[in-house]
Structure 1
């Protein structure tokens, strides 16, 4: 039976790793062949594998088919729909999801995610008529970056968009908007300014947590504690089960009621009620299903061991929603349960409670390490200590948060309890902040598959019981993590990465021993590309410090992320084309036109137009030359600055040209392009940007000159091995079935 369930799970998981999905006909063929193979017992595992594969591919194809058609991409429509979930207001932006969509246009997806800048307060359950500009799901693609497209597909979102105008058609019904009203009630309670954390624990809304709160949680590996997940559901179920067991053991439980069925029933009811309160999001549904399986195992099938119910829960979750494999939480939650089962199942003797707690925390930290590395998530060295404090702290806090919420109708009783809960959470965050300052999170360098395999095998050996042969070898197998295999840049060569930061610019230039970052991406509202995109990407490329941060000029799309970069990574030297315009804290030196230097045989040259009259013209231009191959990084210079550069006497000919001002009509004049004579042009921009970059006239000039183009909006991050005279490598070439080409 265990082999059969493993085969089914393997088939359900496999599409997650496919570059492209088989068609609907192939899915039907897999399912048909799988059913036929079930008729012979020896073929059952193969049949279950094909059934799982066919079902998962069919469900994934249906989700892809529900995306906005290409012909409608970037267009504006009038649509009607109902707001679902909890709308999140951050600054002047309201983000929400819309379902039950009606429109005179055929082919719109069944669920969309929208942003409304300066929009009104929205409530779940309200029905709106909106003018929205819809776009197909598309995200930034960089080394080790968050996969936004996979996240959208896993949530069944077929389009994103921006609201231009709208009118409310109907108010929220009582059954639809109660969670929203409860969240608003919780946010109005004075609780040491920790109302957002209380709302996160009670109704699963994390929009009230600040960016600094998230940074602390990430640095200490405790993010899972502030997002309602399997741990919270399981914790409440365990608390209720343990309460009945304690009463039964002490003789206080009524003898006419069998305690075990009552304990399991009460635990399941508590888990379902908590899940209902949290909105039954995907992780919550997964957790409730797992709790139900565990309780059923405890009640009736304990003799089967611990692995049977775990596999049953795994297959149940995957059959209900195969796309759950696109979410990191799926791998982490099942991985944590499997690790704890491996460590505790079948061990002889009893441990005192504190030894059990220490061993569980140590096992979970070590056991989840391969998952974190494979998923490209930050690894927290302080996680064992932080979780040792925070897990029991939050475990004791959640019941009081729920109790206070239930008692809110009783005057000030509920508010008083929640005030105490807020104080408890505030003290917890103070402790976590101290730990985060001592040991922040570590972004691992991207590891090859063989290194991940070694680390996984090493972790497995270390989790084995004492006395297992070669157990100490596990420490040696972890060495790729401490000494990751690096793609060294040869002497006299440079590795150039044009990162995908949307409508902005950030370029990393690495030599054998040095690193320079040219611009730091934009900062828009609560999204800081420097912190969320640039920093994880360059850390994954084995850059731990910057010898120079060069900001072409002070416009937000080029320098918005600079403060985050300087705050979170050592920067030896900061240069800017407009040092006087930067915010306080960015003490930049001016760009010195004509300055040159060499790193590891690679030559760098700066240029700036001294007669510049505006910000774009003041852009600091960087020319990099390695082994005779050159790249010209131009910031936002316009045609006047281009002509000044041509007449400056600088040698501007280069094989690679970063198009000035993202390919704007005011730049990239024909005379400039002919003088540079690039073999390839690089464009850094966002898809469907409001400025129309690159301008058709610029694209026409490049075509006429026979210049190849690489575009971050189409290609993702672009890598150039300068000095090798080879073609560029693009991130979107790494195919994923859910990723736009």
Structure 2
């Protein structure tokens, strides 16, 4: 007991030091050669005292700390549909800007998809600030990581189909910290058709919900929240993408009547639910690639086999985060490249790598 209390007492300053902002550096994922330089520099700096210039070894650490990942050229874009289980989160990068569409699911009062997956990805990509944050609707599998995202990154402009501040206040009360809100975006707006902007040669436009539709309350029925999901159309110089939230067949039909397509990449609405991806929508979109974000063995049966077959019959390659992991998309002048993170970088415990020769 005495040893335990002594250790607990010694850990108090350690916890305090670890909580300080200067305790760690938010460094991007660097290539292997910068890590070798850093290790060599650290080894040199830790040599016995008295050796000349040993402190200069720390200079070799700087390339790894200051590394900035390559961004798309003007008019191109990168997209990562994260594997966040039964939830949705998509990061879009242009030459100088970053957009996050949805924030994944909350698992418990102390754990959510943003802290587990989204924030580490932002760090790895060198994203210090989100220029735009879109939360399609107030379902917990789309908005669950909002608090963690706001606590980790400053946000310029946010869009949602609901009152974001009201949601954060309600969530804080449920978490037992009433009134304790994270830093808010610089501007908060409602998403609706006609809201558009362009950066780095890439155009962004909301095509749903309708401007005339009333805002959705955070405590409204799930079907109503789904029906009013923000739907974002992205058009670069070479390719386009459609992020759909949880809209159903009725809203898809209205989008078809308004003529949004064709598009190259579609995020399957409602995680590939059979209530979405109607034939008329699938045929109009004429997408080459479709991504369904769903959790492995989820209880909803997402994505539905009929939905997958429907897209495949229309000529699309159907990607599933439950099977393929994160899906990475690159739009460039020489073509559209889509890659499964799980297949491109298999781990030793995965079935594919275990069966590989």
For 1:41-90, what per-residue CA distance to the aligned partner results, in whole angstroms no more than 9, with x for missing partners? Answer: xxxxxxxxxxxxxxxxxxxxxxxxxxxxxxxxxxxxxxxxxxxxxxxxxx
Structure-2 change in CA distance of 1:673 and 1:739 (3 Å) = same
1:684, distance to aligned residue in structure 2 (A): 0.5
For 1:202-225, what per-residue CA distance to the aligned partner results, in whole angstroms no more than 9, with x for missing partners? Answer: xxxxxxxxxxxxxxxxxxxxxxxx
8 Å CA contact 1:622–1:632 kept in 2: the answer is yes
* Partners of 1:440 and 1:653 in 2: CA distance: 49
* Partners of 1:740 and 1:563 in 2: CA distance: 35
For 1:514-561, what per-residue CA distance to the aligned partner results, in whole angstroms no more than 9, with x for missing partners? Answer: 101000100012421111211011111111110111101110000100
* Partners of 2:311 and 2:99 in 1: CA distance: 28
The partner residue of 2:48 within 465, 468, 478 is 465
Paired positions, count: 323
Do structure 1's residue 432 and structure 2's residue 22 form an aligned pair?
A: no
SS in 1 for 2:263: coil
The partner residue of 1:453 within 26, 36, 44 is 36
TM-score (structure 2 length as normaliser): 0.84
Aligned to 1:562: 146
1:682, distance to aligned residue in structure 2 (A): 0.6
1:622, distance to aligned residue in structure 2 (A): 0.8
The partner residue of 1:729 within 332, 339, 350 is 339
For 1:229-266, what per-residue CA distance to the aligned partner results, in whole angstroms no more than 9, with x for missing partners? Answer: xxxxxxxxxxxxxxxxxxxxxxxxxxxxxxxxxxxxxx
Do structure 1's residue 664 and structure 2's residue 273 form an aligned pair?
A: yes
More strand by share: 2
Aligned to 2:219: none
SS in 2 for 1:492: coil
1:512, distance to aligned residue in structure 2 (A): 1.4
Aligned to 1:681: 290
Do structure 1's residue 532 and structure 2's residue 116 form an aligned pair?
A: yes
8 Å CA contact 2:28–2:65 kept in 1: the answer is no
8 Å CA contact 1:519–1:558 kept in 2: the answer is yes
* Partners of 2:168 and 2:21 in 1: CA distance: 28
The partner residue of 1:637 within 222, 247, 252 is 247
> Alignment RMSD, CA only?
2.3
Structure label with greater radius of gyration: 1
Aligned to 1:330: none
Aligned to 1:571: 155
1:577, distance to aligned residue in structure 2 (A): 1.5
Aligned to 2:2: 400
SS in 1 for 2:255: helix
8 Å CA contact 1:684–1:712 kept in 2: the answer is yes
8 Å CA contact 2:75–2:238 kept in 1: the answer is no
Aligned to 2:130: 546
8 Å CA contact 1:518–1:549 kept in 2: the answer is yes
For 1:119-176, what per-residue CA distance to the aligned partner results, in whole angstroms no more than 9, with x for missing partners? Answer: xxxxxxxxxxxxxxxxxxxxxxxxxxxxxxxxxxxxxxxxxxxxxxxxxxxxxxxxxx
Aligned to 2:195: 595
Do structure 1's residue 618 and structure 2's residue 231 form an aligned pair?
A: no
Aligned to 2:168: 583
1:670, distance to aligned residue in structure 2 (A): 0.6
The partner residue of 1:717 within 322, 326, 345 is 326
SS in 1 for 2:54: coil
8 Å CA contact 1:609–1:645 kept in 2: the answer is no
* Partners of 2:124 and 2:253 in 1: CA distance: 39
1:453, distance to aligned residue in structure 2 (A): 0.7
Aligned to 2:306: 697
Structure-2 change in CA distance of 1:438 and 1:449 (3 Å) = closer
8 Å CA contact 1:626–1:723 kept in 2: the answer is no
* Partners of 1:520 and 1:540 in 2: CA distance: 17
Structure-2 change in CA distance of 1:459 and 1:440 (3 Å) = closer
Aligned to 2:349: 738
1:441, distance to aligned residue in structure 2 (A): 3.3
1:470, distance to aligned residue in structure 2 (A): 5.5
SS in 1 for 2:309: helix
Aligned to 1:79: none
SS in 1 for 2:74: coil
* Partners of 2:156 and 2:322 in 1: CA distance: 31
8 Å CA contact 1:578–1:618 kept in 2: the answer is no
Aligned ranges for residues 255-654 of structure 1 at < 5 Å? 400-402=2-4, 424=9, 428=12, 432-433=15-16, 436-439=19-22, 441-468=24-51, 471-525=54-108, 526-579=110-163, 582-584=167-169, 585=181, 588-610=188-210, 611=213, 614-649=224-259, 651-654=260-263
* Partners of 1:592 and 1:440 in 2: CA distance: 42
For 1:600-634, what per-residue CA distance to the aligned partner results, in whole angstroms no more than 9, with x for missing partners? Answer: 11111112233487010110011111113001000
